[in-house]
Chain A
Amino acid sequence: MKAFAERKILLSNVGLIDPERIDDYLERGGYGGLRAALERTPADVVEELKESGLRGRGGAGFPTGIKWEFVLKSRGKTRYVVCNADEGEPGTFKDRVLMEGDPHRLIEGMAICGYAVGARRGFIYVRGEYALSIRRLERAISQARERGFLGRGILGSDFSFDIEVRAGAGAYVCGEETALLESMEGKRGWPRIRPPFPADHGFRGRPTVVNNVETLANVPEIVRRGAAWYRTLGTADSPGTKLYPLSGALTRTGLVEAEMGIPLRTLIFDLGGGPPEGRELKGVLVGGAAGAFLAPDELDIPMDFGSLRRIGAILGSGAVLAFDDTACVVDLLGSVLSFFAHESCGQCTPCRVGTAVLVDLLARVRSGNGDASVLDAMRRVTEVMEVASLCPLGQSVGLPVGTALEKFRGEFESHLKRGPCPRCEAATEVHA
């Protein structure tokens, strides 16, 4: 049995360096990955990424090297690298810590990606509320330009690449890559029909790599230390380390980095310190609002893409939101559903109407206005949303609804019978 503890690769500089000083980053080996990449062919770098087995950290877990290969082999000379930094998943604050604490790591990862796929321009689409991230990235970009890590003829090579920061305007759906591209083009942030995928029809219709911040932050170390080293971390299915944002009813909340496959129990009890004294863990919402509710008897699950998928959950952003016996699951699901209703873009019928209907149905459960048919109606709505919504936002709402109803059904039934619990009543005031 592997002993799991914190293992800092992506966070190795965070808190130790001044993120506004490029020299701090350079002293710790920074831009060594870019230097190493430029000595190899682009196809070689893509091959290294493929061998590393790195999977996208934005939630879907798509193999990064394969995505890069699509773009490298695409027709057309103009290509783009877009970093998805529109971190909006509830309970998720990992990309923010990277951008605020070690912005050059992301810039280096993007430059390597640009070299590997043949792009000359990159964009970082940052959540608008992340003012400090935006400021630090912009400062880091201008420092990187001054030192020749960005701009024309990087490090004496004939590779040119530059990065521009774009701020989002407060829509969760713009974290969906095609909505993000629409937003970057100055349009409404409405997801596109896929296919075509961004790898052949992305920003301004050009082949585009869209990668999450955490994904790109993995790249410099992979190129510097090699795929074989990278594969010693994590699992065969999900190599590497992962950032896990811990929040909710834990003694120590915050961001931890550990190898993929760390059991949820270790994250919660060893790294998170367990629930506050005198309270008992009631459940965990894993993967963000679009994730799954897990019961206390599921804590031995390894936190990687494949293991969670096998039990019908998802790794998502890696967010771990723990709740204890003082929480009401009906109330928690209510927050999740209000969030989705607020963030649905309104483009397709199942999500636009479904998210609103779910809020109405949950209000009936909470107030005890109805019978078990209300719960069935919720499932009928999410079944349609799962298969017929246009983008992952609507498709994923069924996961929190389904798992909450399955694992905490008694709580929903008792609300239907007896009306709002004291916790619901208290929470109503908080939400208002």
Chain B
Amino acid sequence: MITLKLDGREVRAKKGQTILEVATENGIRIPTLCYLEGLSPKGTCRVCMVEIANRNGKLVPACVTPVEEGLEVITRSERLTRLRRTIVEMLFLERNHICAFCVSNGHCELQDLAVELGMDHVTFPYRYPGLAMDLSHDDFGLDHNRCVVCGRCVRACSEVEGAFTWGFTGRGIDTAVATDLGIPWGLSETCTSCGKCVQACPTGALFERGMATAAQVKSPEIIREVTERRPRVF
């Protein structure tokens, strides 16, 4: 067992657990976005950054940082809220997140984060990229304008379904998810149409076709339910 401090409170943890897991067990919420229970954590969205008080205030992503004996973790502070808010601002300005027209309005993790962090407006220039949609699949659709490049679809597809349909293409601000080697989703020969990517997606980027505005409710917890009886592979 390891003893560490979360926001000043002494807690005990098992070796190998992450800061996020220990915080969750102890009823402390740390905001996340690219993290999804059942998938390997990647630490890339940087929303779950926490401060290590006894390492000069160094910031680390809670979802991938293992606990250590004596660690003093701060999960909430003015500094962290400001930081997380700016990161969420960046996600909003990056593409075209128009909640009022979105199938996921009211059921969106990005929107929830903005509310939680008090991000009521964006203080940097919007980018307004002109991105295409992929509506070639019979059952599902992809709208890059609403994607936050969290990669949950990519991991759900490879780690849970084992289809390896989803991947990334491009780099920098042009990074995007793609099916097979960039062919339209509907032409993919590897896609099993299982829909796990859609359920794993935190925003309205992946959706079931035929949904009206605000009608797309997701069940990301199915990823945990499908995987919890499997041996842990990561």
Q: Interface of A with B (CB < 8 Å)?
A: 171, 188, 193, 341-350, 352-357, 360-361, 364, 377, 380-381, 384, 387-390
Contact flags B77-116 to A (C-beta < 8 A → 1, else 0): 0000001001100110110000000000000000000000
Bound: A355/B94 CA distance, A: 11
A346–B149 touching, CB < 8 Å: yes
Closest to A380 in B: B86
A349–B87 touching, CB < 8 Å: yes
Describe A's contact surface by its main secondary structure: helix
Using Cβ atoms and an 8 Å threshold, which residues of chain A touch B148? 349
A345–B90 touching, CB < 8 Å: no
Q: Interface of B with A (CB < 8 Å)?
A: 42-47, 49, 59, 61, 64, 83, 86-87, 90-91, 93-94, 123-125, 127, 148-149, 168, 170-175
Q: How far is the CB of A370 from chain B (nearest CB, A)?
A: 10
The number of residue pairs between A and B whose CB atoms lie closer than 8 Å in the complex comes to 92
B90–A348 touching, CB < 8 Å: no
A349–B127 touching, CB < 8 Å: no
Bound: A357/B86 CA distance, A: 12
B172–A345 touching, CB < 8 Å: yes
Q: Can you name 25 A-B pairs with beta carbons within 8 Å?
A: A193-B42, A193-B43, A193-B61, A341-B172, A343-B171, A345-B175, A346-B168, A348-B44, A348-B45, A348-B46, A349-B45, A349-B46, A349-B47, A349-B87, A353-B91, A356-B172, A357-B90, A357-B124, A360-B127, A377-B124, A380-B86, A381-B124, A387-B49, A387-B83, A390-B46
Q: A341-B172, A344-B172, A357-B125 in contact; A350/B46 too (CB < 8 A)? A: yes
Residue of A346, A350, A355 contacting most chain B CB atoms (<10 Å): A346
A346–B172 touching, CB < 8 Å: yes
Q: A193-B43, A357-B124, A357-B125 in contact; A352/B86 too (CB < 8 A)? A: no
B175–A346 touching, CB < 8 Å: yes
B172–A384 touching, CB < 8 Å: no
Q: How far is the CB of B152 from chain A (nearest CB, A)?
A: 14
Residue of A171, A360, A364, A388 contacting most chain B CB atoms (<10 Å): A388
A361–B125 touching, CB < 8 Å: yes
Q: How far is the CB of A166 from chain B (nearest CB, A)?
A: 20
Bound: A244/B82 CA distance, A: 40
Q: A346-B149, A349-B46, A360-B127 in contact; A341/B173 too (CB < 8 A)? A: yes
Bound: A380/B61 CA distance, A: 20
Q: How far is the CB of B41 from chain A (nearest CB, A)?
A: 9
B170–A193 touching, CB < 8 Å: no
B46–A345 touching, CB < 8 Å: no
A345–B91 touching, CB < 8 Å: no
Q: A390-B44, A390-B46 in contact; A344/B90 too (CB < 8 A)? A: no
Using Cβ atoms and an 8 Å threshold, which residues of chain A touch B125? 357, 360-361, 364
Using Cβ atoms and an 8 Å threshold, which residues of chain B touch A388? 46, 49, 59, 83, 87
Q: How far is the CB of A193 from chain B (nearest CB, A)?
A: 5
B171–A171 touching, CB < 8 Å: yes
Using Cβ atoms and an 8 Å threshold, which residues of chain B touch A364? 125
Q: How far is the CB of A401 from chain B (nearest CB, A)?
A: 14
B43–A390 touching, CB < 8 Å: yes
Please give 6 more A-B residue pairs, beta carbons under 8 A apart, in addition to A344-B173, A349-B87, A360-B127: A341-B172, A346-B173, A349-B47, A349-B90, A353-B94, A357-B90
Q: A349-B46, A360-B125 in contact; A384/B87 too (CB < 8 A)? A: yes
B124–A349 touching, CB < 8 Å: no
